[in-house]
């Protein structure tokens, strides 16, 4: 009887250890998948910005840089 109980406890511990390892592996895979998804989103965003810039002849990016320059000028004049 003690042998069966001991064997059952050891088996249970091995199963739990296996589950813990499987959980760690799953977490690693999820982390890698999330990083890959983030990279894909960033790449898509850059491609969309480039396509928009090409389609508008760079007018939008020029407008944004002009607005940024204006903000810098205002903030530098406020510091004086």
Looking at 57-80, list the stretches that DSSP marks H as alpha helix, in order from N- to C-terminal side: 59-79
Q: At CA 8, angle to CA 2 and CA 10, rounded to 5?
A: 100
DSSP states of the chain as a string?
A: -HHHHHHHHHHHHHHHHHHHHHHHHHHHHHHHHHHHHHHHHHHHHHHHHHHHHHHHTTHHHHHHHHHHHHHHHHHHHHH-
Asked whether residue 45 carries a pLDDT value surpassing 90, the answer given is yes
pLDDT tens sequence across 12-35: 878 878 888 888 899 999 999 999
pLDDT tens sequence across 53-75: 888 887 765 555 556 566 655 55
pTM: 0.50
């Amino acid at each position: 009887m003690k042998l069966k109980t001991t064997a059952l406890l050891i088996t249970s511990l091995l199963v739990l250890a296996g589950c813990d390892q499987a959980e760690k592996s799953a977490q690693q895979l999820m982390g890698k998948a999330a990083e890959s998804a983030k990279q894909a989103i960033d790449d898509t965003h850059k491609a969309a910005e480039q396509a928009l810039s090409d389609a508008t002849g760079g007018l939008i990016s020029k407008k944004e840089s002009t607005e940024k320059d204006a903000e810098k000028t205002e903030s530098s004049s406020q510091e004086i």
